[in-house]
Amino acid sequence: MAARFICLALSPLLAVEAPALLVILSPTFTHLILTSALLPPAQFAPLAFGASALQVALGYTVGRRWGQVALRRITRRSATLRRWRGFVERAASWVVFLVPGPITCTTAGAVGLAPRGFYGPMLAGVTVWVAACFAAGGAFGDPIRAVVERAADHVVPLTAVAIALAAARWHRTRDHGG
């Protein structure tokens, strides 16, 4: 989570100067779409797949290791996440395939999804998500590159604003649990 806040804070700078680092540290849907338009496919695909798979496997491992503690931390944030937990408990492998994100995979590990029911759907789901982000980046590549080129002229003030926004979000998350 800390890497996400750091990437959120530095996203203008990273998008302009080091998009590969943005993928490695924070393989979120938006960062993957952005960077797929900025990086060559031969660089984007393994970075996006590797970072995404590692991130969710780590979430799964945390869920398996700290189970109920992890679930309490996740579900105290909102009623929506409590409902999500119930959904994952009922159809964990399918949910991991359809939404292979850190919260989903932490929840799957915590509810006791066996490794054989996790890794196959997770790898398939990550492959689909990375391919979808690559396709979206391809479809919107020209506008994305134009915005990043324009941002390059103003990267310092944009990064300062992003740092302030990320700090406010971090403060709100730490104070209110979500």
Span 117-141, pLDDT tens digits: 999 999 999 999 999 999 999 999 9
Query: What confidence score (pLDDT) does residue 24 get?
Result: 93
* Averaged pLDDT for residues 150-167: 91
Number of domains in the chain: 1
Query: What confidence score (pLDDT) does residue 84 get?
Result: 79
The model's pTM: 0.84
Query: What confidence score (pLDDT) does residue 52 get?
Result: 96
Contact 79, 71 (CB under 8 A): no
Among 38-52, 93-107, 148-162, the range of highest mean pLDDT:
38-52
pLDDT of 41-63, one tens digit each?
999 999 999 999 999 999 999 98
Query: What confidence score (pLDDT) does residue 77 get?
Result: 67
Count CB atoms within 10 A of the CB of residue 174. 8
**Does the pLDDT of residue 177 top 60, yes or no?**
no
* Averaged pLDDT for residues 99-109: 90
For Cα atoms 8, 2, 21, give the angle at the middle one, nearest 5 degrees: 55
Among 61-70, 101-110, 128-137, the range of highest mean pLDDT:
128-137
Query: What confidence score (pLDDT) does residue 8 get?
Result: 80
Contact 19, 165 (CB under 8 A): no
How far, CA to CA in Å, does 145 sit from each of 21, 34, 86?
17, 9, 41
**Does the pLDDT of residue 154 top 90, yes or no?**
yes
Question: What is the extent of the structural domain holding 57?
Answer: 2-176
**Does the pLDDT of residue 20 top 80, yes or no?**
yes
Task: Report the C-alpha gap between 10 and 6 in whole angstroms.
Answer: 6
> HSE on the CB side for 118, CA within 13 Å?
25
